[in-house]
């Protein structure tokens, strides 16, 4: 190649500059995608950080619903759900279930009587290799409409700014319904007496391809007995775990699984809005809890009850929460599995 020397130098410089620009643009695009240039982006890390109680993160534990106890049992499908979804879990049969009763707190040592929200994580596996995981809570509606609002709620509840919660409630009036439930709903003395609601909506597809938007709940077979929180406090810091261990000795515990089908136009994207009472419900079977196991060594310990693990025939809807929960649960899981040394496995009966 014969070129005047000066032109060649200039062209080499131009080429190097071009290469630098191309590589720099690639790196910048990567940084943007990773969120490094967008400090406002709500990331799973930020959401999980916002759960941390004043005493710091509960190392080795779930970042929310940190206190709980494992169970194993069976899901007895009666076959009625097959009308809604082609998933094997709805066809008549018995499928192994694994779950966890828990308290909606980031403190694994919280006193049971101080935690308003109780929950259940559940995993059902079918012989075709499919899985259905869900994490439900006992309030009938979720406090807020969007994951962003939920993040702001976490910040407001941890805030030392006076009136932070009032300011939040003014901006998110939907929280009033949850507030009313928290204030007036009766407390019970047992996980066995509580109803667990999925709250998020999902889409079921049946064998002929017809789709329905649904929510689900587990209804207890044990009649709830209201107990005042002050009286619950006298039962000790871990009375719920002790009570369920005691109660299971008297035989398995049952919940009826009910699927509620939305009408067109029902608020499927907003778990803070209940659907009208007259919506069609289908009883699809029963969860039978047969054994209770201590969490530290139990089979639920290292299971992430990610609500987007669904069998074929079920999928997420326009509800934005399952995606947010999935991303945040994964982050919580990544952190706690890396901290296992802070939550040692102990002898099977080490916990009182």
Partner 1 sequence: MMRQRFNPLQRLLHWIMAVSILSMLFIGVGMVSTVMPKYLALVAIHKPLGIAILVLALVRVAVRLRYGTPPLPADLPEPMKLAAQLSHYALYALMIAMPLIGWGMLSAAAYPVVLFGSVHLPAILPQSDGLHTLLWNAHFYLAFVFFALILLHAAAGLFHALVRRDGVFDTMAPWSTPDRIAPAE
Q: Which residues bind partner 1 (CB under 8 A)?
A: 1, 12, 15-16, 18-19, 22-23, 26-27, 29-30, 33-35, 41-44, 47, 128-131, 147, 302-304, 306, 308-309, 311-312, 316, 320, 322-324, 326-328, 333-334, 337-338, 340
Q: How many C-beta atoms lie closer than 10 Å to residue 314's C-beta?
A: 22
Tell me how far, at minimum, the Cβ of 184 lies from partner 1, in Å.
31
Closest CA to 296 of 110, 97, 67: 67
Alpha carbon 292 to its chain centroid, in Å, reads: 21
Report the 3 state secondary structure along 147-170: HHHHHHHHHHHHCCCCCHHHHHHH
CB of 35 to partner 1, least distance (A): 4
What number of helices (H) and strands (E) belong to the chain? 8, 10
Identify which of residues 282 and 328 has a Cβ nearer to partner 1 in the complex: 328
- Minimum separation from the CB atom of position 198 to partner 1 (A): 17
State the helix-helix crossing angle for 321-338 and 147-158, rounded to 10 degrees. Answer: 50
- Taking the complex as a whole, how short is the minimal distance between the CB of residue 131 and partner 1, in angstroms? 5
Residue pair 182/188 in contact by the 8 Å Cβ criterion:
no
Among residues 87, 205, 199, 180, the alpha carbon closest in space to that of 142 is found at 199
> Are the C-beta atoms of 121 and 323 separated by less than 8 Å?
no
**Which of 94, 100, 142, 98 has the alpha carbon at shortest distance from 117?**
142
CA dihedral 327, 330, 332, 333 (to 10 degrees): 170
Whole-angstrom Cα distance, residue 255 to residue 270? 25
């Amino acid at each position: 190649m014969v070129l005047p020397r000066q032109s060649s130098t200039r062209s080499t410089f131009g080429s190097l500059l071009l290469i630098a620009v191309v590589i720099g643009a690639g790196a910048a695009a990567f940084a943007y995608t990773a969120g490094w240039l967008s400090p406002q982006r709500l990331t799973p890390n930020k959401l999980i950080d916002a759960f941390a109680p004043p005493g710091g993160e509960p190392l080795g534990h779930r970042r929310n619903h940190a206190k709980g106890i494992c169970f194993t049992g069976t899901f007895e499908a009666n076959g009625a759900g097959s009308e809604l979804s082609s998933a094997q879990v709805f066809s008549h049969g018995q499928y192994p279930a694994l779950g966890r009763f828990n308290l909606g707190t980031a403190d694994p040592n919280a006193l049971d009587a101080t935690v308003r929200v109780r929950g259940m994580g559940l995993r059902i596996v079918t012989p075709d290799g499919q899985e259905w995981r869900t994490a439900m809570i006992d309030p009938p509606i979720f406090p807020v409409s969007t994951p962003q609002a939920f993040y702001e709620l976490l910040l407001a509840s941890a805030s030392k700014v006076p009136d932070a919660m009032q300011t939040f409630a003014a901006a998110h009036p939907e929280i009033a319904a949850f507030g009313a439930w928290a204030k007036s709903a009766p407390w019970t003395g047992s996980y066995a007496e509580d109803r667990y609601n999925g709250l998020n909506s999902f889409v079921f597809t049946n064998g002929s391809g017809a789709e329905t938007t649904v929510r689900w709940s587990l209804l207890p077979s044990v009649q709830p007995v209201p107990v005042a929180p002050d009286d619950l406090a006298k039962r000790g810091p871990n009375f719920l775990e002790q009570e369920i261990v005691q109660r299971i000795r008297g035989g398995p515990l049952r919940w009826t699984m009910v699927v509620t089908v939305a009408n067109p136009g029902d608020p499927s994207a907003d778990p803070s809005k209940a659907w009208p009472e007259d919506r069609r419900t289908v009883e699809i079977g029963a969860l039978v809890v047969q054994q209770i196991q201590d969490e530290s060594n139990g089979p639920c310990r290292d299971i992430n009850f990610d609500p987007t693990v669904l069998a074929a025939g079920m999928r997420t809807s326009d509800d934005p929460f399952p995606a947010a929960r999935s991303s945040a649960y994964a982050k919580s899981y990544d952190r706690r599995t890396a901290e296992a040394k802070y939550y040692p496995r102990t002898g099977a009966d080490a916990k009182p």
